[in-house]
């Protein structure tokens, strides 16, 4: 592989005009497609195989034309102190508001609180429900404006009015912190390379790659039903790995220049060696992201595949566009150890003759090799302590109750809880399919009576059959809030009663609604976590065996990853569930951790962790293969790679942390989780635990059974083929 990539690097350097033209053309093509494509909507959320999804599909068939997937809004009214919503003046205001809301072009129906009995027992709170033809993300701005204007008119009449539901849902924004993340990355690159030109190359190539990836996602969003957060997450991951991969190759290019090679040869060797690490690191990220499809939640699958495509583009950009731009930069990119004009002049001759002081990476690695047990214990105990909060992990999906208290959605949620009880915000919809029953009406009644006898039930509405009379819906209001364990137990209890009802009347009982859907999502994700871990870690383990030609090094990499991801989950629980440093992170409302977070973090963090593992340990492997002792190879790997890996980790943390400013709670949580996971993995696992373990193992770290050594393909990540080819060329020159 090293020889093949070496040729690609030299060709890209030599034919830089052609290579640059291709990538600019692709960027332009993707940009034109994105500009002419419909705006991304809210991806349809389905969970194949779950009871909640089966019930939803049944409703689509048996209750046609009800716009089951349309947006809804609950306009909640509260009377002034000492008054009631049934007072003539307040009633007239509400009815006028209902009339205004019904005039909207996208409105299907509006319920009158006084006809629908949607007034609290104490008479202080009432609500009107507005149903729309389209989803919340597809609503016209005029419909949202009309909704808010109607509420404002009612407020002027003296009522407290708040709006809940998904009708106010908008495309999330990331805020200015994303730009700050990129600015931090730029500063780190300038400090690392000492040159604006060298620092600008990774940023430029990463932005081109992300531009192509995100523009392609935007162009295909409507056709492939990609949600609005898909491009945000692809940008987050693509930008981070794109900068890192280019950083690895530019750093190796400068090292090759420092050894006296001409620029085209240095570009070829940089791509042949560091490029090999980039390819395998990128493969592990792609495997982890595409592996999310095993969960069988279409939205998660699409997010993973879209992000994986952006990572693949980042790899191709690093292998071709980076050497092409190095050709354009020419002498403006200095050899390693030689500073540009920005941070100082080149060393004088008398300074060059002085003994070179070992860099920080060398000194740290030497310390770890001398004290491996102490460093290993400190690292493991520290990550173990950080992982303790993960034992209290509670999973759920965000609803209006998780919104900041400053939002009208959250205030509407609180008003409904105050007037009707906390369970009113999470009603359960029970669907009774009595098509095969001899007496459907009796089956409907029996189901309602069974549910009334269960604990944690406040209200059970009468069955509402369809026109055919073979299917009915029953709304169940729990006594507890939607995200509580008691509500989850109630869902399971209703489903448990369904088996007996099926035996007695041949009627099927299905539970759906947003609350039941959330419960099913959490269950499905929990069930898929172990198979996903086995698949992704197993495939990556086999890949790393091929890369490092070792059994223990990939095993150590996998175990180190588990430590870092558990510690990161602990940090997420501490901030988003317990509220530690919540104000600093902009978390206004604590609550359960998003159900997708553990499995998504496992996938993404594993791929990113392998970036540092491959790049750092490949240099150690390279030194070991070239004759150094095991302990010295660890020090050599750090001498060449520690500075680059540190810079790459800081950059990746800055990019991820930039998304903490997002208005979308899912993006905010993922940004924080990935940033802290990179910190734990890069600075504790890869910089401390990895060299300590390798120092303890010595030569055994690179042990591989002979039969397996013969069976594995030789991918030559260390560039041994390049060294051999160089040696042959030198011999030919001597003969000549």
pLDDT along the chain (736 residues), means of 10: 88 93 94 77 64 85 68 89 92 92 84 87 90 74 86 91 80 58 82 80 89 87 70 81 88 88 90 86 85 82 88 94 90 72 49 63 90 94 94 78 78 90 88 88 89 88 88 90 86 88 85 86 83 82 84 88 90 90 76 81 78 81 82 88 85 82 76 90 91 91 87 71 53 38
Q: What are phi and psi of 414, to 5 degrees?
A: -70, -35
The pLDDT assigned to 231 comes to 79
Q: What is the C-alpha separation between 131 and 723, in angstroms, rounded?
A: 70
**Strand pairing class (395-396; 593-594):** parallel
- Gap between the Cα atoms of 519 and 485, Å rounded: 10
| Contact (CB, 8 A) for 146 and 101 | yes
Three-state DSSP state, 129? strand
Q: What is the CA radius of gyration of the chain?
A: 30
Task: Count other C-beta atoms under 10 Å from residue 716's C-beta.
Answer: 20
Rounded Cα distance between 136 and 71, Å, is 5
pLDDT at 688: 93
pLDDT given at position 730: 42
Q: Which H or E run includes 609?
A: helix 597-625
Report the number of secondary-structure helices (H) and strands (E) in the chain.
Answer: 25, 11
Element holding 251 (H helix, E strand): helix 228-258
> Residues 140, 106: contact at Cβ < 8 Å?
yes
Pairing of the two strands 428-433 and 107-110:
unpaired
How far is Cα 537 from Cα 542, in angstroms, rounded to an integer? 9
DSSP string of 50-79, one letter each residue: SHHHHHHHHHHHHSTTS-TTS-EEEEEEEP
Helix (H, G, I), strand (E, B) or coil at 461: coil
Structure tokens at 539: 């495939």
CA distances from 113 to 93, 98, 476, 626, 637 (A): 12, 9, 18, 80, 71
**Token pair of 328 as six digits:** 């354009």
d(CA 192, CA 188): 6
Q: Rounded CA gap, 562 and 575, in Å?
A: 20
CB 41 within 8 A of CB 222: yes
**Beta partners for residue 478, in sequence order:** 457
Query: Which of 642, 623, 640 minimizes the C-alpha distance to 702?
Result: 623
- Of 679, 553, 656, give the one whose Cα is nearest residue 600: 656
Locate all alpha helices (DSSP H) within 372-459, ordered by sequence. 372-387, 408-420, 440-452
Which residue in 529, 271, 515 sits closest to 397, CA to CA? 515
Contact 323, 201 (CB under 8 A): no
pLDDT at 65: 62
* This model's pTM is above 0.75: yes
Reading the block at residue 45, the tokens are: 């959320």
């Amino acid at each position: 592989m090293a020889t093949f990539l070496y040729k690609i690097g030299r060709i890209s350097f030599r034919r830089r005009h052609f290579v640059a033209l291709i990538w600019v053309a692709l960027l332009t093509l993707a940009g034109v497609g994105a500009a002419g494509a419909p705006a991304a909507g809210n991806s349809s959320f389905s969970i194949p195989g779950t009871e909640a999804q089966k019930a939803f599909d049944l409703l689509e068939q048996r209750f046609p034309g009800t716009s089951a997937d349309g947006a809804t809004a609950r306009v909640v009214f509260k009377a002034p102190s000492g008054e009631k919503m049934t007072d003539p003046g307040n009633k007239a205001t509400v009815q006028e508001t209902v009339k205004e809301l019904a005039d909207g072009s996208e409105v299907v129906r509006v319920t009158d609180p006084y006809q629908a009995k949607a007034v609290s027992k104490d008479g202080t709170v009432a609500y009107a429900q507005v149903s729309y033809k389209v989803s919340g993300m597809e609503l016209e701005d005029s419909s949202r404006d009309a909704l808010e204007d109607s509420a404002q008119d009612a407020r002027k009449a003296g009522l407290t009015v708040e709006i809940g539901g998904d009708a106010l849902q908008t495309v999330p924004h990331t805020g200015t912190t994303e730009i700050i993340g990129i600015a931090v990355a730029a500063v780190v690159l300038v400090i690392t390379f000492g040159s604006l030109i060298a620092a600008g190359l990774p940023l430029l190539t990463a932005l081109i790659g992300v531009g192509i990836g995100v523009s392609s996602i935007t162009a295909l969003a409507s056709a492939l039903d990609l949600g609005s957060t898909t491009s945000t997450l692809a940008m987050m991951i693509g930008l981070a790995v794109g900068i890192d991969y280019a950083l690895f190759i530019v750093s190796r290019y400068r090292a090759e220049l420092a050894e006296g090679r001409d620029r085209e040869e240095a570009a070829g060797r940089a791509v042949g060696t560091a490029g090999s690490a980039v390819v395998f690191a990128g493969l592990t990220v792609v495997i982890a992201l595409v592996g999310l499809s095993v969960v069988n939640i279409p939205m998660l699958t699409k997010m993973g595949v879209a992000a994986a495509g952006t990572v693949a583009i980042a790899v191709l950009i690093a292998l071709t566009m980076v050497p092409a731009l190095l050709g354009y930069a020419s002498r403006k990119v200095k050899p390693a150890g030689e500073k540009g004009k920005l941070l100082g002049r080149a060393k004088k001759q008398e300074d060059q003759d002085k003994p070179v002081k070992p860099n920080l990476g060398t000194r740290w690695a030497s310390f770890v090799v001398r004290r491996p047990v102490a460093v290993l214990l400190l690292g493991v105990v520290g990550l173990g302590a950080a992982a303790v909060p993960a034992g209290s992990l509670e999973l759920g999906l965000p609803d209006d109750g998780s919104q900041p208290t400053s939002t009208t959605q959250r205030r509407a949620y609180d008003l409904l809880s105050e007037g009707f009880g906390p369970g009113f915000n999470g009603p359960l919809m029970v669907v009774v399919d009595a098509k095969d029953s001899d007496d459907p009406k009796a089956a409907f009644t029996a189901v309602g009576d069974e549910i009334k006898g269960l604990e944690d039930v406040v209200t059970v509405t009468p069955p509402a059959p369809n026109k055919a009379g073979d299917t009915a819906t029953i709304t169940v209001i729990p006594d507890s809030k939607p995200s509580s364990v008691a509500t989850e137990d109630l869902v399971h209890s209703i489903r448990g009663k369904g088996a007996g009802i099926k035996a007695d009347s041949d009627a099927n009982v299905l539970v759906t609604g947003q609350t039941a859907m959330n419960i099913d999502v959490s269950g499905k994700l929990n069930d898929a976590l172990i198979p996903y871990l086995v698949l992704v870690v197993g495939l990556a383990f086999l890949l790393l065996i091929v890369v490092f030609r070792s059994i223990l090094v990939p095993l150590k990499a996998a175990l180190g990853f588990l430590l870092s991801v558990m510690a990161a989950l602990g940090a997420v629980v501490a901030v988003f569930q317990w509220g530690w440093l919540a104000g600093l992170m902009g978390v206004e409302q604590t609550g359960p951790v998003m159900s997708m977070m553990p499995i998504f973090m496992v996938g993404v963090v594993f791929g990113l962790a392998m970036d540092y593992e491959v790049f750092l340990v490949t240099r150690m492997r390279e030194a070991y293969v070239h004759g150094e002792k095991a302990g010295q190879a660890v020090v050599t790997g750090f001498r060449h790679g520690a500075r680059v890996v540190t810079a790459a980790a800081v950059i990746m943390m800055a990019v991820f942390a930039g998304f903490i400013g997002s208005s979308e709670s899912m993006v905010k949580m993922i940004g924080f989780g990935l940033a802290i996971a990179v910190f734990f993995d890069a600075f504790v696992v890869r910089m401390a635990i990895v060299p300590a373990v390798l120092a303890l193992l010595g030569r055994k770290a690179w042990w591989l059974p002979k039969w397996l050594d013969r069976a594995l393909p030789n991918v030559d990540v260390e560039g041994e083929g390049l060294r051999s080819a160089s040696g042959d060329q030198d011999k030919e020159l001597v003969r000549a």
